[in-house]
Chain A
Amino acid sequence: AQSVTQLDSHVSVSEGTPVLLRCNYSSSYSPSLFWYVQHPNKGLQLLLKYTSAATLVKGINGFEAEFKKSETSFHLTKPSAHMSDAAEYFCVVSETSNDMRFGAGTRLTVKP
């Protein structure tokens, strides 16, 4: 069975500093992995996805994530945080279209 663990429920960074949101997964197969972002009172928006192509995936708004099979990780990073990055971030693992597991979410706070 597949599962996903977001290691931090809350991350706080200063504007202009790097962002690291951690995600570990468990899967019996070669899963697809996603990061979604949810801004306050908004729906979830796809940031990026990994589907067994390049292990370093670039997404929107300067975010990227690296798939590390040996560590079963898919951490999300950004070199320099912006105030508009403050949001909730969800890591998702999926083996099939009808079985997507969402992590509990990481709330990112960006301080001026």
Chain B
Amino acid sequence: DSGVTQTPKHLITATGQRVTLRCSPRSGDLSVYWYQQSLDQGLQFLIQYYNGEERAKGNILERFSAQQFPDLHSELNLSSLELGDSALYFCASSATGGAGSGANVLTFGAGSRLTVL
């Protein structure tokens, strides 16, 4: 157990629907990162939050949004789902990640597998 908890583990839904993926970071970690892993795109960075504020944005679609709450857990919202959104979504956390901080070790959760039918 890495200490990063993701729910749900598996999710099957239909096109056009909206889902929410949840992540609880490792105790003491302030940063949360979201990644999408698919067969054709590999591991893609979506977004990072640090202590409740957005720190960096990657290849995140406008249909996707995220937030980090005061208790530091994070949610990734995926809306108007398309078949191509089927993927494994990983959350990772790190101790720091604020402005000016150097490279951090990321601790990954086990992922949420989303299947869009």
A-side contacts of B94, CB under 8 Å:
97
Residue in A closest to B41 when the chains form the complex, CB atoms: A104
Given contacts A51-B103, A94-B103, A100-B103, contact A45 B108 (CB under 8 A): yes
> A71 at interface (Cβ–Cβ under 8 A)?
no
State which of B2, B42, B102, B105 has its C-beta within 8 Å of the C-beta of A43: B2
Task: Out of B43, B55, B108, name the residue touching A105 (CB < 8 Å).
Answer: B43
Whether A31 and B90, one on each chain, are in contact in the complex, defined by CB atoms closer than 8 angstroms, is no
Choose one: A31, A90, A95, A99; the contact of B56 (CB below 8 Å): A99
By the criterion of a CB under 8 Å from any partner CB, how many residues of chain B are at the interface?
26
Chain B residues with Cβ under 8 A from A41's Cβ?
A: 110
Contacts of A42 in B (CB 8 A): 110-111
- Which residues of the other chain, A, contact B103 by a CB distance below 8 angstroms? 31-32, 34, 51, 94-97, 100
Task: Return chain A residues, CB-CB under 8 Å to B25.
Answer: none
CB distance from A2 to the nearest CB of B (A): 11
Secondary structure type dominating chain A contacts: strand
Q: Which residue among A36, A41, A45, A97 has the maximum number of chain B CB atoms within 10 Å of its CB?
A: A97
Tell whether B27 is near chain A: CB-to-CB under 8 Å.
no
- Partner of A44 from the list B90, B101, B102 (CB cut-off 8 Å) is B90
Inter-chain contacts of A32 with B (CB < 8 A): 102-103
- Interface positions, chain A 4-57, Cβ under 8 Å from B, are 31-32, 34, 36, 41-46, 49, 51
A61: interface (CB < 8 Å): no
Max chain B Cβ within 10 angstroms of own Cβ: one of A42, A44, A98: A98
Contacts of B93-115 to chain A: CB distance below 8 A: 94, 96-98, 101-111
Known: A96-B103, A98-B97, A102-B45. 15 other contacts (CB 8 A): A34-B103, A42-B110, A43-B90, A43-B110, A44-B90, A44-B108, A46-B105, A46-B106, A96-B102, A97-B55, A97-B103, A98-B56, A100-B45, A100-B103, A100-B106
- A interface residues with partner B (beta carbon < 8 Å): 31-32, 34, 36, 41-46, 49, 51, 90, 94-100, 102, 104-105
